[in-house]
A and B are shown apart, each in its own frame.
Chain A
Amino acid sequence: MYIYDAVDQRLVDERVAQFRDQTRRFLAGELSEDNFRPLRLQNGLYIQRFAPMLRVAIPYGLLASRQLRALAHIARKWDRGYGHFSTRQNIQFNWPKLEDVPDILAHLASVQMHAIQTSGNCIRNTTTDHFAGVAPDEVVDPLVWCELIRQWSTFHPEFAYLPRKFKIAVSGAEQDRAAIQVHDIGLQAVRNAKGETGFRVLVGGGLGRTPIIGTVIREFLPWPHLLSYLDAILRVYNRYGRRDNKYKARIKILVKELTPDVFRAQVDAEWAHLKDGPSTLTAAEVARITRRFTRPEYQTLDVLSVQYTQALARERGFANWAGRNVHPHKVPGYAAVTLSLKKTGVAPGDATADQMDAVADLADRYSFGELRVSHEQNLILSDVKQSDLHALWQEAKALGLATPNIGLITNIIACPGGDFCSLANAKSIPVAEAIQRRFDDLDYQHDIGELDLNISGCMNSCGHHHVGHIGILGVDKQGAEFYQISIGGAQGNAAALGKVIGPSFAQDEVPDVIEKLIQTYLARRDSETERFVDVVRRLGIAPFKEHVYGNADQKRENRSGQLAAA
């Protein structure tokens, strides 16, 4: 956990005072709605379907137990007793009152939290691997770099009114768990042959209505230049990104219109002026930030706990859970644990205030008082002793947080959709629930194996449907809610965008369609280790399409092909 120093705290406190005054002026009619909007957005405050929505930053997904308790308190006191963990390692409250928001922010500041730049056309919360610092495949611990980026981006005076929002993700492991290929800037921390740390820099990735996989513009950026290089990218974007059309305003469009080579040349030209300037990071600063992170004091343990292996052999339910929700750890004898927020019937990512308090207790007792929020909208206890896993499982089960579905079809990522969001074409939560019910049988889920199913209520893609193995997108068909389905998307190292299988479906048809996709997969896979997405990659979408639509479509296509040829 990063611990604020006096300046970090003062800035957050001053922000609360500033926003309190802005809110007061707005409520007094001294500040127009148009003028207030960007100010409230940069403090995480949207005006939504029923009420304002407040998005609180959980920088790079790291949360201390006392912070989670503060979130529970906020949910109870100013909201309706729950919060929604988002794919961007934030938490959203759906029911606060505008006039209460300054008090909520003040409460957050008392536990070193804030809602700064969680919305608006500015640099947003930096996200990272939810196993940062504990993953066995980690090359560079990304947390220190994330905090350096947090400080650099917080109240950056030049980049508060960008053409559009700007999201940075950092990964330091071999497996990309931070979706760096679909961010405005993706940073892959690497080491060169000499063992020096640097970053592979990707730009111009993103989802939304124009999904694009990012392009590498620099293979190895030595770490001292991190901030000056980011400044150069942002300056080029701030000056030349499109401002005439909000749908073409993201950096991905600029990179595409210029071509990545020209964009890179512009960044390099800008960087030539900034490089080696005062923003150049020093070893002393990196060391200072590193020291401000508390680190767990691990015990020396055996690689494999006997108690743990015995419990695995004894109890099938525990073994099922451990197989899905327990993850390897780089320290012998420890494990990371996902507490699933994907229980059937609960909106994906939602947690009640009581659950938050209970998870905070679990974190205190089992994981050094710390936890993580994953972009799959789950909570993670990152440092649990293997010998404690069985006890933790029992407690988590009692709290409804032990659904053994991580990586499986019911671990659905879904945005708030039409139930909460005013931009939605269609609801997402009931669709998620209907699919969870359909695939409720655990054995069936395990048989289907690894499958990411992601749902967005509209083209803005907050639910990452493009990179789901199965993606579901809410569309509007003459005023009715319909769902377009795509397959073959993927996150991680082999990131790919899904392909739409055909015309969209009504809400009650969706579970059947998913079932047909799964049947096609099960019939065609060459072994149990071939995943759904692998089969789509191998065979293309045709067999899936055929099973879902019958081959009526294909016949029609053939006929028009023949006509065209004639």
Chain B
Amino acid sequence: MATLIKNAKIAADSWQLLDRAADGSLPTVPATGDIIVPLPLWQAMAGELLARSGRLGLWLDSAEDPALVADSLEALSLIAVHFPQFTDGRGYSTARLLRERYGWKGELRAIGDIQRDQLYYLSRCGFDAFVLNDSLNAKAALSAFNDFTEAYQTSVDRPVPLFRRRAAETA
């Protein structure tokens, strides 16, 4: 079972992830419930999706440009970013752009090949929810958020870089 971590705690997951079929065709949409749809589905039938009763989330694949959803943020309750392999680091930039440039405030979920040893950097780039690979010990993984207690750079979790915070302290 995949486990959801949200705000550094194990959480129940009410969302259903809809994927394209192997042949690329779009999935059918369940009448009710909270769903996370792939970008092409949203682009093809935004009207129908908005008319449904459940909440609407959207997921971006690693090559999909977050600019494509910048105008749709108000319609969404969740955005997920897919990591086909954990070594495909495009999603880190996607997350920062969503948070820092397009102003996404809602849940930002990392899905796909997500493991304990990436949680710290993912969280610094603005993810607050993570669907961990099934085989992993989710409880032990929570400690990964505390791997480091400080960071040099500007990031979503610490928008002011260390050198400015340090200067403010000594001022």
Contacts and interface: CB of A to CB of B under 8 A. Distances in A.
A157 B153 contact: yes
A459 to B, nearest CB: 23
Interface stretch (A97-105, A170-178, A235-243, A420-428): A235-243
Interface string B66-93: 0000000000000000000011111011
A7 B117 contact: no
B86 to A, nearest CB: 7
Contact of B154 (A10, A35, A277): A277
B115 to A, nearest CB: 6
Interface of A: 7, 10-11, 14-15, 18, 22, 30-31, 35, 38-39, 121, 151-152, 154-162, 231, 235, 238-239, 243, 273, 277-279, 281-282, 284-285, 288
Nearest to A154: B152
A288 B170 CA distance: 12
A277 B124 CA distance: 17
B150 A10 contact: yes
Given A157-B125, A162-B89, A282-B167, A22 B151 contact: no
Contact of A238 (B92, B150, B159, B161): B92
A105 to B, nearest CB: 15
Given A18-B147, A157-B151, A279-B153, A35 B89 contact: no
Nearest to B101: A273
Interface string B90-106: 10111010000100000
B121 interface: yes
Interface string B134-169: 000100000000011111111100011111101100
Nearest to A148: B163
B147 A284 contact: no
22 contacts: A11-B151, A14-B149, A22-B117, A31-B117, A35-B86, A121-B89, A151-B152, A152-B152, A155-B148, A155-B151, A155-B152, A155-B153, A157-B120, A157-B125, A157-B155, A158-B96, A159-B89, A161-B89, A239-B94, A273-B101, A279-B154, A288-B163
A285 B170 CA distance: 12
Interface of B: 86-90, 92-94, 96, 101, 115, 117, 120-122, 124-125, 137, 147-155, 159-164, 166-167
Q: Is the interface of B mostly helix, strand, loop or mixed?
A: loop
A235, A243, A281 — most chain B CB neighbours (10 Å): A243
A278 B148 contact: no
A294 B160 CA distance: 28
B90 A7 contact: no
Nearest to B163: A285
Nearest to A161: B89
B62 to A, nearest CB: 8
A428 to B, nearest CB: 30
Contacts of A162: 89
Given A22-B117, A279-B161, A282-B163, A235 B153 contact: no
Contacts of A121: 87, 89
Contacts of A243: 88, 90
Contact of B92 (A161, A231, A279, A285): A161
B164 A282 contact: yes
B7 to A, nearest CB: 18
Contacts of A231: 154
B81 to A, nearest CB: 12
A38 B121 CA distance: 14
Contacts of A31: 117
A101 B165 CA distance: 34
Contacts of A152: 152-153
A154 B153 CA distance: 9
Given A7-B162, A11-B150, A277-B154, A160 B86 contact: no
Contacts of A161: 86-89, 92
